[in-house]
Chain A
Amino acid sequence: MEPDKEKILEAGYFYFHNQNFKEAIKIFEKGLAMFPDDIDIYYNLGIVYESINDIEKAKECFKKVLEIDSENTDAKKHLEKLINI
């Protein structure tokens, strides 16, 4: 994995675990500016949004993952769940 991408995922993980969701979102958004269309970052950002019940933004992230990788079962599972809310 690209070292910069690794750092982004680690920092996002750290903020998410400390329930500092706003910072986690900022980090992943910065990450997307550096690595557009990166499915790992989009997926994690989707999870952060989903966990804070920002349903529309979470859906967008999972849709983006599926646009890039239509077979991504995790993103599919989350999107299906959110559509049912």
Chain B
Amino acid sequence: MGEKKFFAVIGLGSFGYYVATKLAEKGYEVIAIDIDENKIDDISNKVTHAIQLNALDEKGLKEVGLMDVDVAIIAIKDIATSILLSSFLKEDLKIKYVVAKASDQKHGKVLEKIGVDRIIYPEIESAERLAKNLISPSIFDIIELSSSHNLVEIKAPDIFVGKTLEEIDFRKRFDINIIAIKRNQPSTTETYKLSYEESIIISPSPKERIIEGDILVMVGLKEHLEKIEKL
């Protein structure tokens, strides 16, 4: 990715709060902005800068150096404010990449017209995930790659545990590719208190043996992936 990206998150409802703190946890510089002083107090020791500001205070936004961020994330509920701010960030501040949360399709359409680079529908997306998860609790994540292909993270079904990828032969049997395995490795240092470390095996070798609890990261046609989800 080259140089480290610099982020701004405007609007610290639960969605904005999580995005801002997750980015900061991953070591990125984050400016968090909200009009509510309490929300600024809550996040102030978790991000690089927390600033109390009205999202429509254009002068104030310029003064805090918002034009210098690489990515701005607009997580504001109020549709009018979210639209005005998106337009200000794209047109006036010329921020390279603006992400905005949309509350519904109509809101999303307007954001798209303004030139927002990425529109997210957290409510719709999380509802879809929940529905999938209720149908199949072993699915941890689904990313739509195209209308026909998905990337799915799924807990390895019991029948695969103890077998190597070669033995299972995902490609022949299911016509899908395993691109990574997420595995938690026991890493206890104290005898009486267990702990583990998360690890990821990218492009696992055919000899890799599946262990209970492994998360398989797979790419393939939706209907082929569904066969594994049902196992």
Are A and B part of the same complex?
yes
Complex Cα–Cα for A16 and B189 (A): 12
| Interface flags, A43-75, vs B, CB<8A=1, else 0 | 110011011111010000000000000000010
Cross-chain contact of B213 among A10, A17, A54 (Cβ < 8 A): A54
Interface assignment of B194: CB less than 8 Å from any CB of chain A? yes
Determine the distance from Cα of A19 to Cα of B212 in the docked complex, in whole angstroms: 8
A-B contacts, CB under 8 A, total: 52
B155–A44 CB distance below 8 A: no
Report the separation of the CA atoms of residues A9 and B186 in the bound assembly, to the nearest whole angstrom.
Answer: 15
A85 and B191 form a contact (CB under 8 A): no
Contact status B191-A52, CB under 8 Å: no
Main secondary structure of the interface of A (DSSP, over half): helix
B103 within 8 A of A: no
Known contacts A21-B212, A21-B213; decide if A51 and B192 are in contact (CB<8 Å).
Answer: no
Q: In the complex the two chains form, what is the Cα distance from A44 to B100 in whole Å?
A: 41
Q: CB distance A10 to B186 under 8 Å?
A: no
Q: How far is the CA of A44 from the CA of B195 in the complex (A)?
A: 8
Binding site for A on B (CB under 8 A): 18, 137, 140, 155, 184, 186, 188, 191-196, 211-213, 215
Write the residues of chain A forming the contact surface with B, with a CB cutoff of 8 angstroms. Answer: 1, 6, 9-10, 12-13, 16-17, 19, 21-22, 40, 43-44, 47-48, 50-54, 56, 74, 84-85
A-B interface, 7 closest residue pairs, ranked by CB to CB distance from nearest: A52-B213, A51-B184, A47-B194, A51-B196, A44-B194, A9-B192, A17-B186
